[in-house]
Amino acid sequence: MKVGFIGAAHLAQTYSKHLLRSGHSVILSNRRGPETLAGLIESLGPRASAAPVEVATEADVVVLALPWTQLQSLQQKGIDWNGRIVVDATNALLTYAPDFRRADLGSRTSSEIVADMLPGARIVKALNTLYFKVLERDPSEAGGRRVMFICSDDGEAKKIVASILSSTGFCPIDLGGLAEGGRIQQFGAPLAGPNLLAL
Ligand SMILES: NC(=O)c1ccc[n+]([C@@H]2O[C@H](COP(=O)([O-])OP(=O)(O)OC[C@H]3O[C@@H](n4cnc5c(N)ncnc54)[C@H](OP(=O)(O)O)[C@@H]3O)[C@@H](O)[C@H]2O)c1
């Protein structure tokens, strides 16, 4: 699989390494442009490349790995999201450490809001629950596999993302749709943060 990342920082770099180790290819993109990622791409090896955001969205699967506060910028790029499988790895935060101020989501989950922002995209919520320093570890530990929660309203897209997660050594656990799954997996919810192993 070719996986495109929008964002090329902690989360994107960390999961890219798992993907590359497992035989996938990655395209990283950021706000400042692909030339700023040259050193990183060299260190990641030949199956990694850098491209503008619009090109990264043409991969088989796209991962949103940018700040929540920047999501709106994607709406201004004229990207056709229809049918694209998009993994929402964002956490709905207005600020990071030390205060971690949460965005006001009203009664909805953050990925339902993302789905509205990217019309036609097949949104799968995943990769948001583990701190990158936990994510970077070998997913096989103590005879088990590290758990990765996943939810989506699109069963086929969820299956494809789950198979990618499995191929990189994680144990996907399906929490249902974006409303019910999102509510227990998004930032501040009980399943965001715990580092669990499926034995
Ligand atoms: N860090 C973690 O442990 C962790 C864990 C789970 C989930 N998450 C979530 O994953 C997302 C990424 O987190 P992060 O810590 O890796 O990095 P981050 O600090 O949230 O994001 C920085 C990255 O996003 C890029 N970016 C910013 N605005 C952009 C835009 N308008 N268009 C394209 N790219 C843009 C930046 O590019 P430039 O450098 O060019 O500005 C940079 O590569 C966040 O939503 C975060 O909440 C993070």
Q: Got the DSSP string for 9-50? A: SHHHHHHHHHHHHTT-EEEEE-SS-GGGGHHHHHHH-TTEEE
First to last CA, the chain: 27
Instruction: For residue 84, report the distance from its CA to the centre of ligand 1, in Å.
Output: 20
Task: Give the model's confidence band at 129: pLDDT under 50 very low, under 70 low, under 90 confident, else very high.
Answer: very high
Q: How many domains does the chain have?
A: 1
CATH number at residue 10: 3.40.50.720
Would residue 193 be called left, alpha or beta, if left means φ above 0 and alpha means ψ between -120 and 50 degrees?
Answer: left
Q: For 57-83, what is the mean pLDDT? A: 97
In the chain, % of residues over pLDDT 70:
100
| Cα–Cα distance for residue pair 58/155, rounded to 1 Å | 21
pLDDT tens-digit readout, 164-187: 999 999 999 999 999 999 999 999
Please state, rounded to an integer, the average pLDDT across all residues of the chain: 98
- What pLDDT is recorded for position 135? 98
Q: Best mutation site among 66, 118, 148 for ligand 1, i.e. most ligand atoms within 8 A of its Cβ? A: 66
pLDDT tens-digit readout, 84-120: 999 999 999 999 999 999 999 999 999 999 999 999 9
| Cα–Cα distance for residue pair 3/93, rounded to 1 Å | 24
Instruction: For residue 143, report the distance from its CA to the centre of ligand 1, in Å.
Output: 32
- What pLDDT is recorded for position 82? 98
50: tokens are: 């850098």
Q: Which protein residue has the closest C-alpha to ligand 1 atom 6? A: 128
**Residues flanking ligand 1, CB < 6 Å:** 6-12, 30-32, 53, 65-68, 70, 73, 89-91, 93, 128, 131-132
| Cα–Cα distance for residue pair 64/104, rounded to 1 Å | 19
pLDDT tens-digit readout, 134-166: 999 999 999 999 999 999 999 999 999 999 999
Instruction: For residue 199, report the distance from its CA to the centre of ligand 1, in Å.
Output: 31
Q: Which protein residue has the closest C-alpha to ligand 1 atom 25? A: 7
Q: For 39-47, what is the mean pLDDT? A: 98
Q: 162: domain range? A: 2-198
Q: Which protein residue has the closest C-alpha to ligand 1 atom 45? A: 90
